[in-house]
Structures are given as C-alpha cells and as structure tokens.
Chain A
Amino acid sequence: MKDLVLIVDDVEINRMILAEILSDDYEILEASDGIETLKILFEQKVSPTAILLDIIMPGMDGFEVLHEIKTHPETEKIPVLFITAADADTNESRGLKSGAADYVSKPFNPDVVKTRLENHINLTRYQNELEELVEEKTAELQRTNEQTLEVLADIVENRDETSGAHIKRTSELSAILIRRIISSPKYAEYAKANGLDQKVAGFIVRATTLHDIGKIKISDNILLAPRKLTDEEFNIMKKHTTYGGEIIDSILEKLGDNVGYFGYSKQICLGHHERWDGRGYPRGIKGDAIPFSARLLSVVDVYDALVSKRPYKDPFPHDEAIGIIVKGGESGQFDPTLVEAFVEVADEIAEFELSLKV
C-alpha cells in the first residue's frame, strides 16, 4: 500500500501540480485551508504519512496549522514540509524553528519535492522504529528484573508456608488501599504530600512483595515455631526488618535501582513494623518520618495477619479485623488517614477475600 500524503494549499493549481508530481509514489489527499486540514486530521482521524503545508493561506495560516499538528500527540510525529515561495520574503527559518521538518519551494522542482518528502518519511519511520526498539528493550529488562524479584520472593515463600499466600494477599490489599488514596479527591492533598501518583503507586505495590525478605536470615526454629515466641525469640524475629533492608541494599549495590522500586522495597522492609506514635521497631521513628510505603504496608500486614489462621490462633472474621485496625489507628499504631481509607475500602477487601476462598 502506498503512503498517504496530505497536500494543504489554498491554490488549486499548486495542489494539482504537487499531486501530479507525487501521485506515482503516494496516495494523495488535498485540503484547501487550515480548518479543512484540522477536520481531516482530528475529526475524520485520517493519519497521513507526511503533510505538505502552504504557509500563506487565508484564514488560518500554515504556522497555526503546524502548531495544532505539533501539539496533538496523535499527529505530532507526522513530518510536515512547508510549501514556500523561493524569494526573499520566505519564512523558512521560522518554519523550521516551529517544528516543520523541511520546506519545498515554489516553483516546484519535481525531483527535489520527491526526494525531500521521501527522505523525511524514511527518517520519521527510522526514528519511530528506534523508539519502539528502545521501549521493547526497556520492557525486556524490566521483565528480567521482575522475574529476579519473583524468584527472591519465592525463596521467602518456600521457607515459611504461611508467608507465601501472605505476600500475594498483602500486595493485592496494598493495591486496593493505594487505589483509594490516588483516586479519591479527598485524599488528593495527602497523595501529593506523599509524592503519590500512578507510577509511584505501581512501584510501591510491586515493592511490597519483598517486605519480609529479611526472614530468610531468621532460623527455622524461630520462624516456624508453632507457638507464640518468647521475648528473646521475638527480639530476634524483629531483626527481619533490618535484615531485609541490608538484603535490598546489597541488591541495589549490584543491580542499581533500574526497576525503580527497590528504593520502596527498602523503605518497606525497614519500616513496616514502625508505629505512627513512634513505639514500633526497629528505629522507633514516628509519623511522617516513616515512609508512606511502610505505613501503608503496616496496616495491610496487620490486617492480613488478623484474618489468617496461625498455629497459635484462629482467623478473625473480616468485620472484627477491620474493627481492630480502627482501634489500632486510635491507639497510635497506624497513620490515621490510611485507616480512614482502609475502612472505606472494607467492602472491596471483603470481596477480595471471598474471591480467595472460591
């Protein structure tokens, strides 16, 4: 199939000449003014491979049309060649500065018009291919890194049967809670203060999977003890937070944070047992000093522990667990804003739990 070239010129003779010059190699579409051009591009959604655009036209001139083309994402990559008169009054440099790829001068020299157009079409195509290739390679790298992470999470999972499903549930619950924060206008300021946007939210959710990675350094007799831990054992257990931070640090040293979320993983490992009132561990930091990602996971982590069966306890029902989280908020364990949002998504959480039981 031939490429489509849009010729925009208010003078029919000029359009006819260009059409004749180009018709062997291209499909041709013509427009006689700026308004018609915008209609073709944005209403009829025609997507030409290149546009030849006259500068001086009644009504909307070529510069205005070019501006529209270059400020719409669906057309910004289309190469535009200005049609100019080859005497002293031309606007060639202005045209090139405002984003025109090139220009063809009147009187037309057929070979020059053809060659310039072809060069720009090829150049644009080459550029688009390169961009696609870079995107593809970046995605590939990202996938590789994520697979590495999954392997890491799997190691933790296989160590301790309760944590396997726990990792998946906490990451899903984090996603539900974080979605509430970024989608509800009432939390807009809160989200902004915590640097939250779609991208960061995605990173945090993925980063949560590593929150208990430090447990691989905890011995079996403590990690797998089918009973409540002694104080001494519990003090050792608490170290999984710092161990997690150290493990992520060693990953960062070797890989760098090219997946973008190891930084969050580290915050979460270190901070998910801190308390809003400063009475948590390992550092005893409080309030905003605890990174948002860690505050978020701490709510979700406790909730999931409550509704899960453990060797030393039965699962709490959903409603009761939500009640305990609310009390936890009141007593200073959690970030109150996160507790508020968590209660608002309680139904969604209940649905999610139900879906797991099927």
Chain B
Amino acid sequence: MSNYIDQESGLKRVGGSAALYKKLLGKFIEGKYQEQLETLLAEGKIEDATGMAHTIKGVAANLSLTEVNRLALQVEQALKSGGDYASLVPQLHAATDATIEEINGL
C-alpha cells in the first residue's frame, strides 16, 4: 500500500479511466511544479509562490497524491499567514520526489 498515491480514489476522480489517470500523472511530472515553486521562492515572489502552492494542492487533490496535497496545503497556508514555510518546502520536495518515483514505478 502506497503512502503517496491513493490510486483507487484518484482513478475514481478522473472517471475511472486508468489510461487517462496515467497520462495525468505524467502531466504532473512534466509540470515541474516543485521546481517552479522553489524558483519563485528564491526570487522572493511570495504571492506567485502562494499561487503555485495552491495549484499544486489542487492538482494533487484531483489526482489523489495524498502527501503532496497535504504538504502543499500547509505550504500555501504558511505563505499566506507569514508562517514558517521554509521548513515545510523541503518536506514537500521530498514528498514530490517520492511520489514521482512511485508514478514511474506504476
């Protein structure tokens, strides 16, 4: 049982098509969201970074990428409230890497 992807619910969300689900997971990798997020943060663009965290959260929710979803939400909230996002971003990074690894293993 995977910790990062809830395949059963993800498949249901996209209408039950396994092929589409795989394609969408591929899109998630191609999107390089984590990279984009970290670049924006490095450039100090907090507002854009908040938007990116929001996007990651939404995409992850739709694909049932549970860990990424959970951590992206925390990052988004931390960015919005001026909280400690710096310690959360590496966790999201790690979760993203692990998720991608799992996708590639499907």
Contacts and interface: CB of A to CB of B under 8 A. Distances in A.
A13 B27 contact: yes
B62 interface: yes
A75 interface: no
A188 interface: no
B88 to A, nearest CB: 16
Contacts of A16: 20, 23-24, 27
A86 B59 CA distance: 12
Contacts of A110: 12-15
B15 A20 contact: yes
B14 A20 contact: yes
A58 interface: yes
A89 interface: yes
B54 to A, nearest CB: 6
A21 B14 contact: yes
B90 interface: no
Contact of B62 (A56, A58, A89, A107): A107
B78 interface: no
A14 interface: yes
B19 to A, nearest CB: 10
Interface residues of B, number: 27
A152 interface: no
Given A58-B51, A85-B61, A106-B61, A13 B15 contact: no
Contacts of B51: 56, 58
Interface string B51-91: 10011011101111000010001001100100000000000
B62 to A, nearest CB: 5
A11 B14 contact: no
A20 B58 contact: no
Nearest to B17: A20
Interface in A107-160: 107-110
Interface in B27-64: 27-28, 31, 48, 51, 54-55, 57-59, 61-64
A12 B63 CA distance: 13
A284 to B, nearest CB: 76
A107 B55 CA distance: 12
A13 B59 contact: yes
Nearest to A107: B61
A58 B24 CA distance: 22
Contact of B58 (A21, A58, A85, A109): A85
Interface in A85-101: 85-87, 89
Nearest to B27: A13
B13 A107 contact: yes
Contacts of B23: 16
A247 B64 CA distance: 78
Interface in A10-27: 10-14, 16-17, 20-21
B31 A13 contact: yes
Contact of B27 (A10, A12, A21, A56): A12
A16 B62 CA distance: 11
Contacts of B62: 13-14, 17, 106-108
B5 to A, nearest CB: 13
Contacts of B76: 89
Contact of A17 (B13, B31, B77): B13
Nearest to B61: A107
Interface string A1-38: 00000000011111011001100000000000000000
Contacts of B27: 12-13, 16
Given A20-B17, A110-B13, 8 more contacts: A17-B13, A56-B51, A56-B54, A85-B54, A85-B57, A85-B58, A86-B61, A89-B76
Interface of B: 12-15, 17, 20, 23-24, 27-28, 31, 48, 51, 54-55, 57-59, 61-64, 69, 73, 76-77, 80
18 contacts: A10-B55, A11-B55, A13-B24, A13-B27, A13-B63, A14-B62, A16-B23, A17-B13, A17-B15, A17-B24, A20-B20, A56-B51, A87-B57, A106-B61, A107-B13, A107-B62, A108-B62, A110-B12
Interface of A: 10-14, 16-17, 20-21, 56, 58, 85-87, 89, 106-110
Closest 8 CB pairs of A and B: A107-B61, A106-B58, A107-B62, A20-B15, A21-B15, A13-B59, A106-B61, A13-B27
